Amino acid sequence: MTNLTRRSFSIGALTASMAACKRVVDLPSSNTPPLAGDGDGSGRLLILGGTGFLGPHVVDAAQAAGYEVTLFNRGKTNPHLFPDLEKLRGDRNSDVSALKGRRFEVVVDTSGYFPRQVEATTSVLGDDVGRYVFVSSISAFADLSRPGLDESAAVAAMPEPYSEKMPDNYGALKAGCERAATDALQERALIVRPGLIVGPGDPTDRFTYWPVRVAKGGPVLAPNDANDPVQFVDVRDLAAFMIDASAAGRSGTYNATGPASRSSIGTLLDDCRVVSGSDAQFVWAPTPFLKEQEVAPWMQLTVWVPPDDEEFGGMGQINVEKAVAAGLGFRPAQDTIRDTLAWWNSLPEARRSKPRAGLSETREREVLAALAAVPAAEGAVSSRR
């Protein structure tokens, strides 16, 4: 198995945060009640970005809450979206002058990857920001091997000398962005650390692989043990949480992945089978066998990471108690699966023929055949659930 390295994990995280995708118009509100606080969900809200995967859902959630939304971006990603919104043009690497003299009750930063970008933005906006929501990542943690990481856990430090090399330093750079936002705005900064963001429009296909594969039925190669933990958050629930939390005047840092209680890869696959009504049969292959076959977690057998992985074993076990207490809600996983599958089936065949994550059908058949050839006495074949 190709080793899961900080670089390979960061590639996935970076792809998810930067890729553009088709907008999903139907955006249900959070299944938690509005938060009480010092904001009423009115006023002007600025999104730095706003037209990729997460951004459009933030737009919809903000409008549903009554905000007047403005976008600031280069106008290169999905420029056709939101023709009725105010759009300020600029480049966070060179020109943020369009933000000068503007007042926003809330700023949602979905496009900050380098501390200097956050510093430039907060410097221009200054005191004209009521709440600055920075979208970070659990990649910011220094040690993802440990289960149960909460918001107090150490974040990654930038190597010396300083480097903006991507994706190698993605997590450290996100941690630097968090510091830049907090240093500039203090109690007006709200840091949100998502895990794997999933749902309709996901450009990475990492979550989508499972609903699509299970729907096809037949023997399905599944990773290690059905009880291995996994975590993810529906993009719509994440967007709703950020809008609700900012309106409530919350600040500080929140781990924003889910669900609220422990889930597993077996539960996810079972939910996929229920939604699709397929005859899928899960064939569980132990991690050592997958390693021998060079089948990688996260990018080939997606969502899942071995819980005993020396570098990323804690990824599926992040502590989200603080965010849940602050109102982060989770729609049923089967709803996310159903919506994701419907979205996928609506895409052109040219897109669906080239998935960006997961095992190819040919490779899966090869691995299943190799697994079937392993003597049962060696314990390599594990067919459950």
Q: DSSP letters along 222-284, please?
A: EES-TT-EE--EEHHHHHHHHHHHHHTT--EEEEE-S-SS-EEHHHHHHHHHHHHT---EEEE
pLDDT of residue 186 exceeding 70? yes
Residue-number span of the structural domain to which 166 is assigned: 6-383
**Per-position b or e across 163-202, b if 16+ CB within 10 A of its CB:** eeeebbbbbbbbbbbbbbbbebbeebbbbbbbbbbbbbbb
Query: Are the beta carbons of 189 and 250 closer than 8 angstroms?
Result: no
pLDDT digits (tens, 9 = 90+) for 41-86: 579 999 999 999 999 999 999 999 999 999 999 999 999 999 999 9
The domain that holds 228 is classified in CATH as 3.40.50.720
Does a structural domain hold residue 321?
yes
Query: Identity (one letter) of the amino acid at 267?
Result: T
305 falls within a domain:
yes
Percent of the chain with pLDDT over 70: 86
Per-residue pLDDT, 19: 44
Instruction: Give the pLDDT band (50/70/90) at residue 291.
Output: very high
Domain-located, residue 39 = yes
Does residue 169 fall inside a structural domain?
A: yes
Q: Residue 1 domain-assigned?
A: no
Each residue of 306-345: pLDDT tens digit?
A: 999 999 999 999 999 999 999 999 999 999 999 999 999 9
Task: Evaluate whether residue 256 is within a structural domain.
Answer: yes
Q: Is residue 50 part of a domain?
A: yes
Q: How many distinct structural domains can be found in the chain?
A: 1
- Summarize pLDDT for 208-219 with one digit per residue, the tens: 999 999 999 999
